[in-house]
A and B are shown apart, each in its own frame.
Chain A
Amino acid sequence: MHALMVIRTYLKLGVLNVVQYRANFLFDLLSVGVYLTTSLLSLAVIFGQTQTLRGWTRDQLIALVGIQILVGGLNGLVIRPSMQQLMENIRLGTLDFMLTKPADSQLLASVQQVNIGSIAEVVVGLAVILTALARLGTEVGADGALLFLVMLVAGATIVYCFLLALSTCAFWFVRIQNILVIFQATFNEAGRWPITIYPGWLRATLTFLIPVAFAVTVPAESLTGRLTTLTTLATLALALGFVAASRWFWRVGLRHYTGASA
């Protein structure tokens, strides 16, 4: 299949591009270490004062932190660096080169950059999830694991579409690279806690929280046995809706692209 071949080639090139800078990997590892320490210390301070947080125990929240690091890592591998590059290309007009290539532009834009360092996050995230599950003593059967995986993929898809839509705004506003920084900050800060602790009006105001909810809280709910059938179906429907909407928005944005000479 043509699209798959394009993805494979691009990812291979991307990997070759970044393995030149091996020392960076150590810094990425340090970053995840610092982040994990902050999260665990925050939990320690909070659970020094209470036994549960809106029904979540400390170990359940550790599992949630693991999921957050994992999802952040998955996005950081290809999606986030590619979106950053995409905004840069739109600003500089170098998107021209991508549009002239005989493949789908959204696909090319989404896989153009790879950041291997995020593997550190993926590994640490998985380790934290497994540790938390061991401490919780939860038996996750084959169907439970499958449900978790499906929810994880749905969540990651929603985050991808959301980031694509944010980046697409660059066709109109040009200088908005900060928006990805802010999304990342919200994801790191707000994603540490189950979305259910935020009051409803706040969830509605901070739209950034919506993808965080589906990417982190819903998979965590599936692991800790609090996922309802309704939430499962809503998540899947929303993922599909996001895919269609972001695709449509990308096409609209592309029509507003003014090119290199502008």
Chain B
Amino acid sequence: MATLPVAEQPVAEFERLSLSALLEFYGAKFRTELALQFAYRGALAIWLLSLVSQPLISLVVWTTVAETNGGSAGGFTAGEYAAYFVILMVVNQLTFSWHMWEFEWRVRTGFFSPVLLRPLHPVHNDIIENLTFKALTLVALLPIAVTLGFAFDARFAPSLADVVAFGPALVLAMALRFLVEWTVALAAFWMTRTMAVNQVFGVLSFFLSGLIAPLALFPAPVQVAAAILPFRWSVAFPVELAQGQLSGVEILLGLLAQVIWIVLAVVLLRLVWRHGVRRYSAVGA
């Protein structure tokens, strides 16, 4: 098996692993990854700074807009803007992934060659890496978010139903954003430079996920696009929910949209992966 050239590896082989073996892998890998990432605390702190600063800048800009206009703008008060961006800071950190920016390097340097020989789909490795990063940075991010919430006088009133629905919505958003971005990352199998794809995707995501402003402030066509595409469901939806902006029906429809998009994303990921990995020529290996 291990002596076969990479191109002849039967890709479907990955699925034969039993659930208990997979769980065991997750447990062991999570422990080593935790130790590994904790060893580079400085790098973690630096990434944390950027995860804080971006929503913080939007927060400052929008509370300033609201204050300039006598307390509210576009239907939100300064306190509501503060709440939106403080919650967004946490949701963005928990849904964030960076694999799009790594795949070009992975393909170019032949990083995938040994990985493909393992009897496990490489996505599992990245899921654990991603979760470890989130677990470690959340410990520092949460107190920062709470402090900023008080400093900017954040105002939000979620109902009990909102609080209950927030958990599943957040987990589904985490899964959805990861799956979509990991699939986009696979473009690296076809292109040597993925910068262009990543940047265009980044800008779309910046506007349509509600990172620059609450989606309610955009013209109707943009809002429709954000709802049809996965963007709203992977970031903005849990934030709106926690803020108490959504009705019961809207929440249920949102959760449904998330599930539908996750199913679509999994199908898409497997399809693109199957075709992409056959194009991998292990340069530099």
Contact = CB atoms under 8 A, between A and B. Distances in A.
Contacts of A190: 53, 57
Contacts of B203: 34, 37-38
A206 interface: yes
A53 B46 contact: no
Interface in B26-48: 40, 42-43, 46-47
Interface in A154-203: 173, 175-176, 178-179, 181-182, 185-186, 189-190, 193, 197-199, 201-202
A45 B62 CA distance: 11
B69 interface: yes
Contact of A179 (B46, B62, B200): B46
A199 B64 CA distance: 10
Interface stretch (B14-22, B133-141, B162-170, B206-214): B206-214
Contacts of B217: 45, 48-49
Given A46-B213, A48-B217, A206-B53, A178 B43 contact: yes
Contacts of B56: 202
A50 interface: yes
Interface string B248-260: 0000000000000
Contacts of B62: 46
Interface size for chain A: under 10, 10 to 19, 20 to 34, or 35 or more residues? Answer: 20 to 34
Where chain A touches its partner, the secondary structure class is helix
Interface in A196-248: 197-199, 201-202, 206
B75 to A, nearest CB: 9
Closest 3 CB pairs of A and B: A49-B73, A178-B46, A49-B74
Where chain B touches its partner, the secondary structure class is helix
A262 B11 CA distance: 45
Contacts of B46: 176, 178-179, 181-182
A197 B74 contact: no
Contact of B195 (A31, A37, A197, A199): A31
B282 interface: no
Nearest to B207: A41
A30 interface: yes
B60 A197 contact: yes
Nearest to A177: B43
A176 B44 CA distance: 11
B109 interface: no
23 contacts: A27-B193, A34-B199, A38-B206, A38-B207, A42-B212, A45-B217, A48-B74, A49-B65, A50-B65, A50-B69, A54-B64, A54-B68, A176-B46, A178-B43, A178-B46, A181-B46, A185-B53, A186-B50, A189-B54, A190-B53, A193-B57, A197-B60, A197-B61
B221 to A, nearest CB: 14
A138 interface: no
Interface of B: 40, 42-43, 46-47, 49-50, 53-54, 56-57, 60-62, 64-65, 68-69, 73-74, 151, 193, 195-196, 199-200, 202-203, 206-207, 212-213, 217-218
B223 to A, nearest CB: 12
Given A42-B212, A185-B53, A190-B53, A30 B61 contact: no
Given A175-B42, A182-B46, A53 B68 contact: yes
Nearest to B65: A50
| Most central of A49, A173, A181, A206 by chain B CB within 10 Å | A49
Interface in A1-58: 27, 30-31, 34, 37-38, 41-42, 45-46, 48-50, 52-54
Given A175-B40, A193-B57, 18 more contacts: A30-B195, A38-B206, A41-B207, A49-B217, A52-B68, A53-B61, A53-B65, A54-B68, A178-B46, A178-B47, A181-B50, A182-B46, A182-B47, A186-B50, A189-B54, A189-B57, A190-B57, A193-B61
A197 B64 contact: yes
A173 B45 CA distance: 14
Nearest to A199: B60
A206 B144 CA distance: 13
A202 B151 CA distance: 10
